[in-house]
Amino acid sequence: MIVDLRSDTVTRPSQEMRAAMMSAEVGDDVYSDDPTVNSLEDRVAKLFGKEAAIFTPSGSLANQLAIRTLVKPGEELICESNSHIVRAELGAGATFSGITTRTWSANRGMLAADEALELARPDSGPYLVSTTAIAVENTHNFGGGTVQPIDEIKRLASTANSMGVKLHLDGARIWNAHVASKVSLLEYGKYFETVSVCLSKGLGAPIGSLMISTKERVTTARVWRKRYGAGMRQVGILAAAGHFALDRNIERLEDDHARAKKLAIACNSIVASTVNPAEIETNIVGLDLTGSSWNAGEFAVKAKESGVWVGALGPKYVRLVTHLDVDDAGIEKASAVLKDLLERAFMSK
Ligand SMILES: *Cc1c(COP(=O)(O)O)cnc(C)c1O
pTM listed for this prediction: 0.97
Q: Which atom of ligand 1 is nearest to the CA of 170?
A: 11
Q: What is the pLDDT of residues 52-107, one digit of tens each?
A: 999 999 999 999 999 999 999 999 999 999 999 999 999 999 999 999 999 999 99
How confident is the model over 197-211, as a mean pLDDT?
A: 98
Q: How far is the CA of 79 from the centre of ligand 1 (A)?
A: 15
Q: Residue 63 and residue 93: Cα distance in Å, rounded?
A: 9
The architecture in CATH of the region 11-248 reads: 3-Layer(aba) Sandwich (3.40)
User: What does each C-alpha distance from 133 to 58, 76, 157 come to in angstroms?
Assistant: 21, 7, 11
Q: Residue 191 and residue 169: Cα distance in Å, rounded?
A: 9
User: Would you say the CB of residue 75 lies under 6 angstroms from ligand 1?
Assistant: no
Q: What is the pLDDT of residues 29-39, one digit of tens each?
A: 999 999 999 99
User: Would you say the CB of residue 64 lies under 6 angstroms from ligand 1?
Assistant: no
Which one is the CATH code of 252-347: 3.40.47.10, 3.30.450.40, 3.40.50.620, 3.90.1150.10? 3.90.1150.10
Q: Residue 340 and residue 349: Cα distance in Å, rounded?
A: 15
Q: Residue 266 and residue 338: Cα distance in Å, rounded?
A: 8
Report the pLDDT value the prediction gives residue 348, as an integer from 0 to 100. 60
Q: How far is the CA of 84 from the centre of ligand 1 (A)?
A: 7
User: Would you say the CB of residue 170 lies under 6 angstroms from ligand 1?
Assistant: yes
**Domain boundaries in the chain?**
11-248, 252-347
User: Would you say the CB of residue 137 lies under 6 angstroms from ligand 1?
Assistant: yes
User: Would you say the CB of residue 7 lies under 6 angstroms from ligand 1?
Assistant: no
